[in-house]
Chain A
Amino acid sequence: MNSVHDMGGMDGFGPVVFEQNEPVFHEPWEARVFGIALSARGISGWTLDTSRHSREVMPPALYLSLSYYQRWLVGREAALLSADMVRLEELQAGQASRPPDGDKPPTPPDGDKSPTPPDKLLAGLAKGYNAERQVDAAPRFAVGDAVVTRNIHPAGHTRLPRYARDKAGRIHARRGAFVLPDSNAHGRGESPEHLYCVEIAARALWGEAAAARDKVYLDLWESYLRAA
């Protein structure tokens, strides 16, 4: 979707502001939000792609008014409310208003009713979510092929940024086949596709103001590309 999260190439945000010796978390609540987001038992049907998309559908003015971990908190609240795993009155009161086994919070598909213990969560982090898949189809493009990114403007999730649409480039590398976010974020299945690293000249993106030698590289799924 064309919203403010897709900010590559936008002007007006000012200089980069950096901080020496920045702590991992600036406030204790930021650490708790991060910890909650990683350790709360999964919501049925939610994936990395749905989570990303859930923050993109945040109204643009709200998105820009929130800091990074505020986005995580407000986004997580919205997701849990939407799945009826928590209720607004509970968040207002700061306590659960229904017993765990009573008027059900929904049970995830694996039927596991106990929260994720520390060792299991840490083991999961050490392994990591892997979005690579096997596909039968042969890759359509080879390294060195000239390609053009598609001029698509889907209303839903995509990982083809606006600044890189309808641009001519070249296949720099093949990455393997990966879950297609455009499908998976909407519960339409993983629909894995070949993924390619595409090199685009900075001048093809930004015109003559860009340096002649400079390049931008993006990892793009096969359906984002057509042969030049």
Chain B
Amino acid sequence: MSDPVDKLSYDHHQHLPSDMTLRTKALESVLVEAGLVDPATIDAVIEAFETEIGPHIGAQVVAKAWSDPDFRARLLADGTAACAELGYTGEQTTHVVALENSAEVHNLVVCTLCSCYPWMLLGLPPTWYKAEPYRARSVKEPRAVLREFGIDLGEEVEVRVWDSTAEIRYLVVPERPAGTEGLDEAALAALVSRDSMIGTAFASSPNAAAGG
């Protein structure tokens, strides 16, 4: 087969409007008229990612790992299978590796080459994850990046940065906060933010969460 990217050109960019709304409407209209896309399918994709797929899913996985030692062991041994037990698999999430943060080890996930991210566990990535500063700096100066997120780690903590160069997707399991012994999985999941599952935040303490 010939190289599909070889003849690709970006010369068209200067011949189309800079207004992205107009430009997107034009592309959608042409594709719909040509029978290449069903607008109802576009609607369904958007609805799924705006309402159903998001970091609350990953938070359930983390809360279960905190509550159920057997599940935690399965998650750390085979993240794909453990997430699949709960029905969480799919696009950009076919292979999952879970990384546990502790007082000794802090894991941080990045994709320096594009923006690979576990869609079916965390939804679509935030802008900062896709933008140049995070992609460029996380591998070289993770501690400085973490300080910008409010995390100041001592030299005694080992920082492990995971660059998502293949189809393996990483889920950070943040350390379970103190004072959460009596909480059920739903209450625990509320303490697990998106950023804590990327490694740029700690899980919230119950008091902070109650205060908003």
Binding site for B on A (CB under 8 A): 5-11, 13-19, 22, 24-29, 31-36, 38-41, 43, 45-46, 50, 52-55, 57-59, 62, 64, 68-70, 73-74, 76-83, 85-86, 88, 90-96, 98, 100, 105, 113-118, 121-122, 124-132, 157, 159-161, 163-164, 173, 175-176, 178, 185-189, 195, 197, 202, 205-206, 210-221
Q: Determine the chain B residues whose CB is within 8 A of the CB of A19 once the complex forms.
A: 126-128
Q: Determine the chain A residues whose CB is within 8 A of the CB of B132 once the complex forms.
A: 7, 10, 13, 64
Tell me the number of A-to-B contacts counted with CB atoms below 8 Å: 331
25 A-B pairs within 8 Å (CB atoms) are namely A7-B132, A9-B112, A13-B136, A22-B126, A24-B50, A35-B43, A40-B31, A41-B36, A78-B12, A86-B30, A91-B27, A96-B34, A100-B34, A118-B38, A121-B41, A128-B92, A131-B167, A160-B165, A163-B112, A175-B166, A178-B166, A187-B3, A189-B1, A213-B158, A217-B163
Bound CA span A125–B45, Å: 9
Q: Determine the chain A residues whose CB is within 8 A of the CB of B71 once the complex forms.
A: none
User: Are B135 and A132 in contact (CB-based, < 8 A)?
Assistant: no
User: Are B8 and A82 in contact (CB-based, < 8 A)?
Assistant: yes
* Contact of B161 with A by CB under 8 A: yes
Partner of A219, one of B29, B90, B123, B165: B165
User: Are A29 and B20 in contact (CB-based, < 8 A)?
Assistant: yes
Shortest CB-to-CB span from A4 to chain B, Å, is: 9
